[in-house]
Each structure stands twice: as C-alpha cells, then as structure tokens.
Amino acid sequence: MTDKVSSLVQRIRDLESELEEEFDQRRTVVKYTVKKHRVVFEKEARDRHLALRQTLSSYLSGARPMVVLTAPVIYSVIVPLVLLDLVVALYQAICFPVYRIEKVRRTDYISLDRGQLAYLNGLEKLNCMYCGYGNGLLAYAGEIAARTEAHWCPIKHAARIKRPHGHYPEFVEYGDAEGFIRRKKNLHEATK
C-alpha cells in the first residue's frame, strides 16, 4: 500500500472509532448494563418500555394485507440462511487451518440481543432477531470470503466496486503483475 492509501485507510479507521465512541455516548442515555451477555435496564426504563409496547393484536390488525401476505416469503429465507451458516462454518473449520488464515468469530457478527427489549411484542422480537441473524450471518460469511480472497487473490478489480471489504485496500492494483508475484511470495514465506 502506498503512504497516501495507508494514511486514508487509517483516517477511515479513526473515523469508525470516533463513530463508535459517539454510539457509546448515546447508549448511556438509555441506561442499561450488560451482565453475562444479558442486557439489564434500570427499572424506570423497563417500566417505560413495557408501557410503550404495542399489543400483538393491535400490531397485526394495523398491518397492511400485502405485508401479511409477503411474510411467508421473508421467513422462507431462513432455510438458505441456516444452510449458509452451516456451510461457511464447515468451510472455515476445514480450510482456514490448512491455509493458516485466522478464523472469523461468529459472535463478533451475529447478535440476537433485540429479543430482550421489553417495548417489542413477541412478533416484533422474532422479526428483530431474524434480521439480526440474517444480516449478522451475511456479514460473518462476507468476512470469511474476504479473508479467503485476501489469501488467494488479493488483486483489486479494474472497475470500482461499491463497499469493498476491509482487506481490499491492501490488495495489489489491477494489472500489477510484479506486485502480485511479490505478494504471493511473501504470503508463501509467511505460511511455511
């Protein structure tokens, strides 16, 4: 990576850290703690959440008919998601040790904590947990794919791509044959 690219990547990481600090500041306003992976709200906040919860019957009666009719389509995606979860876990367990690629921690990507929110009714909790699982799983699988790509083919694309993964800035430029050969040689030396 060039000095300019390294500097820009570092600035992005610094901004991400700053953004996370801002999120931490905002979290203090809602007054909760995490004890053994369980979120505990102060009594006043929990009581307020319970008072704001919409009943399931009110929630369902207010839903547009087309929303109800599309629900089975949305929930049917659970089948390929679970299959993807199993396949990427197996892939990583078998291949990453062989290639000496650091494993991706599933818990860093998949969080099902929204089911602990008292202001959600049962269906809203299920929906939120489903989204947390689906999006977290896709991010987890994406990081496994990104580490695989960084190991085997760390070459940037000729055309610009949207939202490249975090390893992408370290890839060699498209068409830089010498850079790729150097990168491949360094990788081979590091994984002997």
User: Could you tell me the mean pLDDT of each successive run of 10 residues in the chain, 192 residues long?
Assistant: 81 88 78 80 88 91 92 96 98 96 96 92 96 97 97 94 91 93 85 72
Taking a C-beta distance cutoff of 8 angstroms, is the pair 156, 168 a contact? yes
pLDDT at site 36: 79
pLDDT at site 31: 74
pTM of the model: 0.85
Take residue 85 and report the two structure tokens written for it.
């979860």
Query: Quick one: CA dihedral 189, 100, 106, 38, positive or negative?
Result: negative
Q: Cite the DSSP H helix spans in 39-121.
A: 43-52, 56-61, 65-76, 78-99
How far is the C-alpha of 121 from the C-alpha of 154, rounded, in Å?
A: 46
Taking a C-beta distance cutoff of 8 angstroms, is the pair 31, 47 a contact? no
pLDDT at site 27: 73
pLDDT at site 139: 97
Take residue 134 and report the two structure tokens written for it.
């689906």
pLDDT at site 23: 79
How far is the C-alpha of 83 from the C-alpha of 62, rounded, in Å?
A: 34
The DSSP H or E segment spanning 141 is: helix 122-152
pLDDT at site 1: 63
Take residue 55 and report the two structure tokens written for it.
């009943």
How far is the C-alpha of 118 from the C-alpha of 6, rounded, in Å?
A: 44
| Residue pointed to by tokens 């300019």 | 4
174 SS3 class: coil
How far is the C-alpha of 21 from the C-alpha of 170, rounded, in Å?
A: 26
Phi, psi (degrees; rounded to nearest 5) at 39: -85, 130
pLDDT at site 9: 83
